[in-house]
Amino acid sequence: MELDPRILMFALFGIGLMASVGLEKWLSDRFLSLPILYVGIGWAVFSLPLGLPDINPTDDAFDAQSLEYITEFIVIVSLMGAGIAIDRPVSWKNWRQIWPLLAIAMPITIAAIAWLGWWWVGFAPASAILLGAALAPTDPVLARSVQVGPPGENERHDVRFSLTVEAGLNDGLAFPFTYLAIAAVGMTAIGGWTLEWFAFDFLWRTFAGCAMGYIVGRVGAWYVFERKADEGYKGMDEDDSVERDALPLKYSTSEGLIVLGTLLLAYGAAELVEGYGFLAVFIGAVTARQSENASRYHKISHHFIDQIEKIVLVAVLFAFGGMLASGVLDALTWPAAILALVLIFVIRPLGGLLAESLSGLPLPGKLAVAFLGIRGMGSIYYLAYGQNHAVFTELSLLWATTSFAILASIVVHGVLSAPFIRMVEERGAHIHFGTDGTMAAFEERPAESNGQADRS
């Protein structure tokens, strides 16, 4: 009897979903991660003569389009989960450790990758800029192992907080440079098109994404907490055992669908006004999280979103393994491979350390933030987006370099992130200290929000 490849893929996906439930927790304290394991399984299965389809965006425009849409969705879902998980009240003082990562580490990383891609690897300027934009961001999908936990835990962890918020906001810099790369195709000199890029793609799109995310987040919070049918959520805190036992079965699915729909609306609305949808999703989730912060609704919503993310993540990890088996690395050169390793071990750590130089984190905490900038599915999205919107030269080498960087990050960070974080926590280096040597204080939430100061 001949095996149907489609049925084999369903079976592989089903087994992957079932196994992921226990594997992720079991692997959390070991020198192995779920992404390493599932990418390896995907590569092994797609390498067998089973008739499974090739997944290679350099050879098939449909694959590139499919990768753009699939990775777009999983990044959206990951940003939802990350935003909802952030308990810390939003203010300049509370979030001051984030801005250097965006204003210093990100531009340094983009510029260094683009320059080395042009000078060392030999990419055309537009292709080098696209490579820098794709590989610079910390990935919100694969970085979940070093991000903050579910909302409401009230455990302060400045390292995880920094990596979570950076992964949520760095699209505000990655996407403008993706557009810069698209605009630079065919250009031979700097001119009026660069001013237009800065005014529209950088300033307007960033502002529009932030504004639309805030508006939709506020509207979504009002819709949830001010509806008479859901008054049980308003002000409900973690000590209400009656509500805690009664609500999950009744509300978890419906309220999860509400938050998913709200944040998808934020993405769509931002894109309709030509803003950055990823920024809108993260800011919308954070904005909604700040409303009725003691409500258990946020934890239920986060759990729902987390389940969706895991479902899509399993498929994407297997597909990435399939990409590797289909020959996406065939065009890889030694200079390109060295560039990917330099990014992981030199560019990002040095840029991160420079950004964290004025923070109050002890040195091990600074090193953790600097080193654990994981690359992943977001890089695939930006590269696929660029391919689908302009004609870039050296496309095969672009995909090979990006895929190798993601693979190296999955292996290196997958092996080192858990023990690194554990070492930092054992030394108490995950807490931000002030200039006087005492634990840096946060601004308390407004009294009407019925919450506590964040400790995540």
Would you say 456 and 160 are in contact if contact means Cβ atoms under 8 Å apart? yes
pLDDT of residue 380: 95
Answer yes or no: is pLDDT of 439 > 90: no
In this structure, are residues 346 and 120 in contact, taking their beta carbons and an 8 Å threshold?
no
For helices 5-27 and 34-47, give the axis angle rounded to 10 degrees. 160
Instruction: Output the pLDDT for position 336.
Output: 97
- Assess whether pLDDT exceeds 90 at residue 233: no
Q: Looking at residue 114, what is its pLDDT?
A: 96
pLDDT score of 295: 67
Closest C-alpha among 386, 444, 393, 427 to residue 64: 386
Instruction: Return d(Cα 25, Cα 91) in angstroms, integer.
Output: 33
The per-residue pLDDT for 449 is: 41
Q: Rounded to whole angstroms, how far apart are CA atoms 358 and 103?
A: 13
> Above pLDDT 70, what percent of the chain?
84
DSSP for 263-301, written as a single string:
HHHHHHHHHHTT--HHHHHHHHHHHHHTTTTT-THHHHH
At residue 451, the pLDDT reads 39
Q: Which residues pair with 232 in a beta bridge?
A: none
Mean pLDDT of the chain: 84
For residues 136 and 375, give the distance between their C-alpha atoms in angstroms, rounded to a whole number: 8
CA distance linking residue 400 with residue 406, whole number of Å = 10
State the Cα–Cα distance between residues 284 and 264, nearest whole angstrom: 10
Check the CA dihedral 156-158-164-168 and report its sign: positive
pLDDT for position 81: 87
Quickly list DSSP for 128-166.
HHHHHHHHSSPPTTGGGGGS--STT-----HHHHHHHHH
Of the two residues 211 and 226, the one the predictor is more confident about is 211
Which string of b and e fits 41-52 if b means at least 16 CB within 10 Å? bbbebbeeeeeb
Q: What is the mean pLDDT of residues 4-18?
A: 88
Q: How distant, in Å, are the alpha carbons of 6, 144, 167, 426 from that of 418? A: 36, 12, 18, 12
pTM of the predicted model as reported, rounded to 2 decimal places: 0.89
Strand intervals (E) in 15-84 = none
Every domain of the chain and the residues it spans: 5-449
Residue 121 phi/psi, 5-degree rounding, is: -85, -30
Task: Specify the pLDDT at position 292.
Answer: 67
- Name the most confidently modeled range: 237-241, 271-275, 287-291: 271-275
Residue 274 φ/ψ region, left for φ over 0, alpha for ψ in the -120 to 50 degree band, beta for the rest? left
Q: What's the whole-number mean pLDDT along residues 337-363? A: 93
| The CATH number, out of the four listed (1.20.140.10, 3.30.230.10, 1.10.510.10, 1.20.1530.20), of the domain defined by the range 5-449 | 1.20.1530.20
pLDDT band at 346 (very low <50, low <70, confident <90, very high): very high
Share of the chain above pLDDT 90, in %: 44
Q: Are 333 and 397 in contact (CB under 8 A)?
A: yes
Please report how many Cα atoms fall inside a 13 Å half-sphere around the Cα of residue 234, on the Cβ side: 12
CB atoms within 10 A of CB 32: 16
| Mean per-residue pLDDT, 14-40 | 84
Local confidence band at 452 (pLDDT 50, 70, 90 cut-offs): very low
The whole-number average pLDDT for the span 210-235 is: 73
Residue-wise pLDDT for 124-139, tens only, equals 999 999 999 999 998 8
Residue 141's Cα: distance from chain center in Å? Answer: 4
Task: Report how far residue 195's alpha carbon sits from residue 166's, in angstroms, rounded to the nearest whole number.
Answer: 27
pLDDT of residue 370: 92
Give 79-127 as a DSSP string. Answer: HHHHHHH--SPPSTTTTTTTHHIIIIIHHHHHHHHHHHIIIII---HHH
Between CA 371 and CA 344 the distance in angstroms is 7
What single-letter amino acid sits at 265? L
Type of residue at 110 = I
pLDDT tier at 434 (50, 70, 90 boundaries)?
A: low
Alpha-carbon distance 104 to 56, whole Å? Answer: 34
Per-residue model confidence (pLDDT) at position 359 = 82
pLDDT at 448: 44
When pLDDT is cut at 50, 70 and 90, the band that residue 245 belongs to is: very low
376/257: higher pLDDT: 376
For 237-243, what is the mean pLDDT?
Answer: 46
- Considering only the C-alpha atoms of the chain, give the largest distance between any 2 of them, rounded to a whole number of Å: 74
Task: Mean pLDDT check: name the lowest of 11-20, 113-122, 150-159, 242-251.
Answer: 242-251
> Residue 229 has what DSSP assignment?
G
Average pLDDT over residues 57-76: 89
Judge whether residue 218 has pLDDT over 50: yes
Confidence of residue 241 (pLDDT cuts 50, 70, 90): very low
What is the reported pLDDT for 53? 87
First to last CA, the chain: 55
